[in-house]
Amino acid sequence: MATPSSSAQSHHTNRLAHTTSPYLLQHAHNPVDWYPWGAEAIEASRTQNKPIFLSVGYSTCYWCHVMERQSFENEAIAAEMNDKFICIKVDREERPDVDQLYMTAVQILTRQGGWPMSVFLTPALKPFFGGTYFPPDDGHGRPGFPRVLNSISAAYHTKRDQVERSADEIVRMLQKVAEPRQPREPLQVDMTWVESLIERSTAEYEQCYGGFGGAPKFPRQTLLEMLLAYTGMPGATEDAEGIRAQVLYTLDYMAEGGIRDQLGGAFHRYSTDEKWLVPHFEIMLYDNAMLAVVYVEAWRQTKNPNYAKVARAICDFVLREMTGPQGAFYTAFDAEVDAQEGLTYLWTPDEVEGVLAEFPKEEIELFSRVYGLAAGPNFADPHHGTGQPDKNILFLPTPLANIAKPLNLTEEQLDARLEPMRQALYTARRKRKQPLLDTKILTSWNALMIRAFAVAGQALDEPRYTAAAIKAAQFLLDHHSAADGALIRTSRPDVILQSEIGNRQSTIPGFLDDYAFLTRALLALHRATGDAEWRRHALRVAETMNDNFRDRELGGFFFTAADATDLIVRQKSATDSPLPSGNAVAALALIELGAADTARQVLAVFAQSLEDQAEGMSSMVQAALEYLKTNEPFTVATDEQAGDQQGERPPTPDQLARAAVELSVDWESPTELRLQVKVLDTFHLNANRAAQGMIPTTLALIGPRAAPIAATIDYPPGEERRFAFADEPIRVYDGTVTLVARLEQPLPPGATLRAALTYQACTDDACLSATTQAIDVKTR
């Protein structure tokens, strides 16, 4: 259950006390005079002639909690904030429109982003300065938050014209990036083109431990689902079989890793390392909803019972720990307890032996070997302690089948022996202090879970999963839908004080994701139950979405409804976030509803975006796949004015990262490939042996049918450089460096090999997001 901040409640209470968001309630007793986003705060900024400080975060965000403890609970810093600014706090999960818009502004300003997001706005809501986490004190060459506050306030009042010009320029850039890029030459949307996008999307495949991209390693559910949608098509090619092998290898490693709660069954948000071992311990509803669908589809294509077991464990966890009494699903579990990362989920061998004391010694030893305890501690708290591992994350260092065979057991028999011990530890763990549970009911996230339960119930022949989907869907239709079909974004059914709160839980309108995801979920329920009423509900939601969000002039859907009045730019996007894109899900739902013409318009308006960055648009690639199953290919014509308009569009952070590096390759021999990496002036890359917390430069070789190529990579050591934010020198690559790949076996002459370099481009004081750039080369 969510609880307020630990600030002294008797001394301070601000306007957030009247909200329902658990994240906002955490800040309700800060000494900061917080406003929620809305007309009252905007009017206060205008009448008091103060700039706005906008802070955006979410309840399970570690660094959001850190900044609260260090700055927002600090009386002196809070006094500066209250004196100089109108301070607005936003829950990004409640207001993704505000989050998306101003995150884009921060990326334009700083070339990076993250949470907590800190943005300074004029009273007209125009951003003019932004960043993420600010420390409370000056140090390591960075200004502390008080210095930032004073500097921004001084600039606003003494250089107002300059601030307004800067804000107007940023708004102009936001308007440019809000509209999808149109093609400069005709694009043919057909299977050949889509398969080329799929091939590009798999370029980041990591052959040692699976997954796509380096550490920190996210599951990338939309990519996994899209790839399985492709491999599940009739008449799968050899290329498709190779891609399926990559996905299954990834799912196996994830299921065995510490990213999966081996006792509870849910998945944590991401892995901090390449091996899927050490997670960031948040548990998000949307992650688990999408992974349940992926594991069900993996089971459907392979009939491997392990995939069904993982899917069932996810569904059972959500039913057990994230479902409210009325059937709707809660949002997330926090990563920390008592300011310590993952404390609830960690064990020592003594703790395990104490809980399992009633089991025979040989059984305890077996459990310790299976779940990695026998190999010693594997977790060191990144923010507390000595930095040396002193606790254990439970994981499977060896597949269960490999342990069962020498014991003359089947995998199922071994698992049955382990189950009572897992259950005993899980029961003991439930008695520990639990991480905060965010009890918001979000329409879009609930829709993802409804779809997951419907898919799992139908595929696994599990009526209780179908019943859970029905109950949650009925809750949304009863409580999140108005008589005219309009949806609300969020509610808190666990909030009892309705006389005080009134209808406040219904004041945030639904966004595109809410409508699109719910339409798709209702269609999944129709397939699972055969009840035509669910399809009629889906059609009604889709019609409202079409009326309120569709761009009838250019195609596609805006993220906000036509009557939204509190944002300076209306955005239209198709990038996954890791949630699937609302436009892509709308297209998928419309295809199933038979509205192929509208779906084609969505695909057409984002076709050039797909051509530019398919790697971040897996759901839209999947929509194109689904469209082409039952419809003819089509051509997207050019926009005659595209060249002039697009020349003014600011580059995205990913485009900047790609532009920072040039690649060239040459064969030294049939088994030795040299990759020359030229790093643009002012940038450097982290060396392969990167400092802790830095993303290393890595090279992967991919051959025909997307199969990984076995090779030894020789990385240069890099140059030692000192930076203000680090106590020790850090090894980096700058200028031109050469990586040497030695293949174990030569490839056939004329075969195409892809060299995929994953790296993070940094300046001396900021880093862009990690990216992967690939170059194809034919063998001799």
Contact 436, 319 (CB under 8 A): no
Band (pLDDT 50/70/90 cuts) for residue 707 is low
Identify the top-confidence range among 190-204, 659-673, 752-766: 190-204
Q: For residue 215, what pLDDT is reported?
A: 85
Whether residue 31 is preceded by a cis peptide bond, meaning omega within 30 degrees of 0, is: no
> Do the beta carbons of residue 690 and residue 215 sit within 8 Å?
no
Q: Which residue has the higher pLDDT, 236 or 686?
A: 686
pLDDT one-digit tens code per residue, 455-470: 999 999 999 999 999 9
Question: Tell me, what amino acid is at 729?
Answer: P
Which DSSP helix (H) or strand (E) runs through 26? helix 22-26
What is the pLDDT confidence band of residue 769, given thresholds at 50, 70 and 90?
low
State whether residue 32 is helix, strand or coil: coil
706: left (phi over 0), alpha (psi -120 to 50) or beta: left
Per-residue pLDDT at 119 exceeds 50: yes
Instruction: Please answer whether residues 217 and 273 qualify as being in contact, where contact means their C-beta atoms are separated by less than 8 angstroms.
Output: yes
Mean pLDDT computed over 77-101: 96
- Give the whole-angstrom CA distance, residue 599 versus residue 584: 9
Map tokens 């079409």 to a residue.
546
Amino acid identity for residue 434 in this structure: Q
Averaged over 444-461, what is the pLDDT?
98
Confidence of residue 646 (pLDDT cuts 50, 70, 90): very low
CA nearest to 677, candidates 691, 695, 666, 663: 663
Angle (CA) 345-348-350 rounded to 5° is 135
In the structure, what pLDDT confidence band is assigned to residue 378 with cuts at 50, 70 and 90? Answer: very high
**What 3-state DSSP class applies to 491?**
strand
Q: Which residue has the higher pLDDT, 361 or 726?
A: 361
Local structure of residue 213 (DSSP, 8 states): S
**Using one digit for the tens of pLDDT, what is the confidence trace for 602-611?**
999 999 999 9
Is 348 in contact with 392 (CB distance < 8 Å)?
A: yes
pLDDT reading at 496 higher than 50 = no
Question: What does the DSSP 8-state code read for residue 439?
Answer: -
pLDDT band for position 645 (cuts 50, 70, 90): very low
Sequence-ordered alpha helix ranges (H) in 396-531: 400-404, 411-430, 443-459, 463-479, 498-501, 512-529
Distance CA 87, CA 152 (A): 14
Query: Does residue 90 have a pLDDT over 80?
Result: yes
Handedness of CA 363, 369, 375, 378 (dihedral sign): negative
Q: How far apart are alpha carbons 606 and 635 in whole angstroms? A: 13
Cα separation of the two ends of the chain: 63
CA distance 434 to 418: 24
Top mean pLDDT of 603-607, 719-723, 750-754 is at 603-607
What SS3 class is residue 22? helix
Q: Are 394 and 268 in contact (CB under 8 A)?
A: no
pLDDT of 728 over the 90 cut: no
pLDDT score at 138: 85
| Residue 679 CB partners (closer than 8 Å, separation 6+) | 660, 661, 685, 733, 734, 735, 736, 737, 761
Q: Is the pLDDT of residue 648 over 70?
A: no
pLDDT computed for residue 694 by the predictor: 67
The amino acid occupying position 702 is: I
Instruction: Measure the CA dihedral 721/724/728/731, to 10°.
Output: -30
User: So what's the pLDDT on residue 4?
Assistant: 39
User: What integer is the mean pLDDT of 695-713?
Assistant: 80
Choice between 455 and 696, residue whose per-residue pLDDT is larger:
455
Angle subtended at Cα 714 by Cα 708 and Cα 718, rounded to the nearest 5 degrees: 125
Best CA proximity match to 747, nearest among 664, 665, 669: 669
Residue range 295-345, pLDDT digits in tens: 999 999 999 999 999 999 999 999 999 999 999 999 999 988 888 889 999
Mapped onto helix, strand or coil, the DSSP state of residue 292 is helix
The pLDDT-based confidence of 420 (bands split at 50, 70, 90) is: very high
Nearest to 93 by CA among 385, 396, 351, 445: 445
Give how far the C-alpha of residue 371 lies from the chain's centroid of Cα atoms, to the nearest Å.
28
pLDDT over 90 (residue 79) = yes
Digit-coded pLDDT (tens) for 124-155:
999 999 999 999 998 776 789 999 999 999 99
Helix 238-256, helix 191-201: angle, nearest 10:
30
Phi, psi (degrees; rounded to nearest 5) at 491: -150, 170
Q: List, in order, residues 6 or more apart from 624 with CB less than 8 Å away.
A: 189, 194, 197, 603, 610
DSSP string, 55-106: EEE-TT-HHHHHHIIIIIT-HHHHHHHHHH-EEEEEETTT-HHHHHHHHHHH
If you ran DSSP here, which 8-state letter would residue 125 be given? S
**pLDDT greater than 70 at residue 722:** yes
Compute the residue count for the chain. 780
Measured between alpha carbons, how far is 266 from 435 in angstroms, rounded to an integer? 14
Q: Decide: 475 and 548 in contact? Cβ < 8 Å.
A: no
> What is the mean pLDDT of the segment spanning 633-656?
62
Report the alpha-carbon distance of residue 65 to residue 341 in Å, rounded. Answer: 12
Nearest to residue 722, comparing CAs of 765, 680, 758, 693?
765
Give percent above pLDDT 70 in the chain.
92
SS3 251: helix
Mean pLDDT across the chain, nearest whole number? 90
Round to whole Å and give the CA distance between 337 and 347.
Answer: 14
pLDDT of the residue at 143: 83
- DSSP secondary structure of 544-598: HHHHHHB-TTT-SB-SS-TT--S-SS-------SSSPPHHHHHHHHHHHHT-HHH
Contact call for residues 254 and 210 (beta carbons, < 8 A): yes
Q: What is the pLDDT of residue 767?
A: 65
pLDDT band at 765 (very low <50, low <70, confident <90, very high): low
693 pLDDT tier (thresholds 50, 70, 90): low
The closest of 312, 332, 254, 590 to 452, measured between CA atoms, is 312
Q: Is residue 243 over pLDDT 60?
A: yes
In the prediction, which pLDDT does 701 show?
86
Supply the pLDDT for residue 177: 84
Per-residue model confidence (pLDDT) at position 727: 55
State the pLDDT at residue 181: 84
Whether 88 and 35 have beta carbons less than 8 Å apart is answered as yes
d(CA 256, CA 92): 32
Q: In whole angstroms, give the CA distance from residue 541 to residue 774.
A: 41
The pTM assigned to this predicted structure is 0.81
Taking Cα atoms as reference points, which of 197, 361, 219 lies closest to residue 276? 219
Strands, E assignment, 610-671: 634-636, 661-669
d(CA 584, CA 352): 46
